[in-house]
Structure 1
């Protein structure tokens, strides 16, 4: 599913923050770009987006 997301939404990803405890690592990412490809059946509107999560 991640590869489908990358194909549909051009742009970049940045690691904002990481945390580790024992053998577990989590990362907070920022992703921004332009919706240029079909995503889950939705036609590409060509709009810019940004999300952090």
Structure 2
């Protein structure tokens, strides 16, 4: 929090923000029903196995 105050008052320079996004970014999130393993969907591990 001290750093935030220093940046706001001009005592410190703001942090460098990257100008490009990384190649992959996880989605913000889905509906809770998307993560459900109940019913006939099976478990997450059985869906990922080859």
What band does the TM-score fall into relative to the shorter chain?
under 0.3
The higher relative CO (CA closer than 8 Å, separation ≥ 6) is in 1
TM (norm. structure 1) is 0.21
Higher Cα Rg: structure 1 or 2? 2
TM (norm. structure 2) is 0.21
Query: Would you tell me which structure has more helix in proportion to its own residues?
Result: 2
Query: Would you tell me which structure has more strand in proportion to its own residues?
Result: 1
